[in-house]
Chains A and B, each alone.
Chain A
Amino acid sequence: MAAQAAINKSASGRRRDYLPYMLALPIILYETIFILIPIVQQLVSSFTSDMFGISAVKWVGLANYDRMLSDKYFWNSMRVTLSFMGGTVIVAVGAGLIAALLMNQNFRGRSVARAIMTLPWAFPDLPTVLIFMWIFNPSFGVMNLFVRWILPIEQNPKWMMDINLALPLVIMIAAWKAFPFYGLVTLSVLQSIPSELYEAAKVDGATRLQSFRYVTLPEIIPTLMLMGVLACIFAFRQFALIFLFTGGGPARTTETLVVAVYKAAFNSFDFSYGATIGMAGFVAVFAITLLFAYLQRRQEAEAAS
């Protein structure tokens, strides 16, 4: 009885319940040490001049920001980031949607096909880079063979060494690895659509295309939008894949913002300038995250009504 009374008491909120705070505290501390403090350090560092291990740290005010805004390579990395983000979002979410629609059909061998299609998602970044570097190797890569079956070209393309092909290639590889996740999430939403809706549409004489347009699509659009934002963020943080596959080249055509940060810090040892570019990236991520949180709220509100 006493325990029951205690539950009722905390439920009615007459007594402040401290347990959740005690539980959350270690995590808040942990993330403060490893995430929040470094962000503050990064902010401070962006106002200084800190060539790692080369010169003493000096306060320089907004000089780094001045330099960044007039740095054409910074704007280049912004452009590359946007193209990479847009490209992977469209290809990965689009392929994920198609895969989910296919997996939502009944056919023989579906579970095998589903396992095969999930494969890239389980693959780590490093082996993914290895495989595709080999497949797209300009001398021995098997892709040369396939392309020359289809296109009448005399010479093997230079693939990731070609300034026009490098970025699309990186996008395709990133999407190859990412689409199964979007497919699995979409599939779980598709399977939660009540079958009565489809039967009702059928009774009303809807064609398959119409029932997709008027039944399926409205149900999955909120999820697709959320995944689109999520895919933007995943694309934004993509480092190992790009860095190891092209190193940002050729001619900086695949140098996204995160690659630029890394190169400023660990190739040029200009920690402050790297930190400054990092702050620009941080603002971008913050904006996208808020958009994501907003879309989520709206979806929950819609689901509740």
Chain B
Amino acid sequence: MTTPTIPVPARTLASPFHWVRRIPMYILVLLFCIVTAFPVYWMTLSVFQPIEYSLTYPPPLFPQAISFDVFQEIFSGQDTAQRVDVWIFNSIILASMTTVICLGLSILGAFALSGKRWRGQGMFGLLLLMTQMLPEALIVIPLYATIDKLKMKDSLLTLALVDTAFVLPICIWILKNVFDTIPNEIRDAALVDGCNRMKMLWKIMLPISAPGLVAVGVVAFFHAWNEYLFAASLIGNRHLYTASVGLGSMISMIDTPIDKLMAGGLMFSIFPVIFYLMVQRYIVAGLSAGAVKG
């Protein structure tokens, strides 16, 4: 308090019972945490407890016994078209291809948006915004018909190309945001030193933006990883199923044991949860920039 003449309201004085007033807040925080964490806990529990505990009513709320048998089943079954590890492998291939294509294109787009304004930039921004907003389901029919005609169904590369079209705008916004934080002095200095602008992008801006590039990579990777609609309509060959389609097919088979389903779901979620929490800061900055500043 630098100005002692201003009367300090009594309630700001620290009192031994200060925490009492905060109880409602703690209760709310706890409530939120339970609502968000319980489903995840419940899934994990049904994976690691023997299935008979899951199939009793009322179900026990805490683990009574632990078993890892289900992993043997989903990773080493006879039918490779039904194995979660094969699906996850396909998902990794698909997501990696999407990441590479998307990174290349979004570097160009972000660089175009991050320099001086140019005529038509507004239209370009609107095109990106429209693409970002467009529900996939609204163009799944013509895309399916065309790809079917071109005999390009059942290809992970085709799927990666389609997925890129939808995730590209958000990646461009994220990266533009990162590029914008590079001071103009650095760019100008590079140009004065005789770099042309592409060389400056390559030698100066990209190395500085490495964490942002990682964030873009994560977003692109897990967009393809999570995508269901196109994967389900464009991939018919069971050996090429991505994890999302594979799990979707498990849902529609009524007799799939619950521990197997949950184990598949858990395997499918671990990577995105870890990576999203790691690059959360960049994604939120980029999403809100793309969303709030399109």
Contacts and interface: CB of A to CB of B under 8 A. Distances in A.
Contact of B280 (A3, A35, A184, A278): A184
Interface in B106-135: 108-109, 111-112, 115-116, 118, 120-121, 124, 126-131, 133-135
B93 interface: no
B144 interface: yes
Interface string A282-294: 1001101100110
Contacts of A19: 112, 115, 197
Nearest to A236: B135
Contacts of B268: 124, 126-127
A285 B141 contact: no
Contacts of B92: none
Contacts of B264: 130
Given A31-B127, A202-B12, A282-B138, A119 B121 contact: no
Contacts of A24: 108-109, 112, 120, 124
Size bin of chain B's contact surface: 35 or more
Given A131-B42, A237-B137, A265 B265 contact: no
Interface in A81-137: 95, 98-99, 102, 105, 107, 113, 115-135
A113 B29 contact: yes
Interface residues of A, number: 100
B140 A262 contact: yes
A278 B56 CA distance: 44
B9 A205 contact: yes
Contacts of A37: 142
Nearest to A295: B292
Contact of A239 (B40, B120, B136, B291): B136
Nearest to A102: B29
Interface stretch (A4-12, A61-69, A157-165): A4-12
Contacts of A42: 138-139, 141-142
Interface stretch (B65-73, B208-216, B221-229): B221-229
Nearest to A139: B57
A102 B25 contact: yes
B280 to A, nearest CB: 6
Interface string A231-244: 00100110110001
Interface of A: 3-4, 6-7, 10-11, 17, 19-21, 23-24, 26-28, 30-31, 33-35, 37-39, 41-42, 45, 52, 95, 98-99, 102, 105, 107, 113, 115-135, 139-140, 142, 144-145, 176, 180-181, 184-185, 188, 202-203, 205, 223, 226-227, 230, 233, 236-237, 239-240, 244, 258-259, 261-262, 265-266, 271, 274-275, 278, 281-282, 285-286, 288-289, 292-293, 296, 299-300
Given A20-B121, A27-B108, A31-B127, 13 more contacts: A10-B116, A23-B111, A115-B277, A119-B37, A130-B265, A131-B43, A176-B35, A185-B291, A230-B291, A262-B137, A278-B139, A278-B141, A292-B133
12 contacts: A35-B165, A117-B33, A119-B36, A124-B244, A130-B43, A130-B247, A135-B42, A140-B54, A176-B36, A239-B229, A265-B141, A278-B137
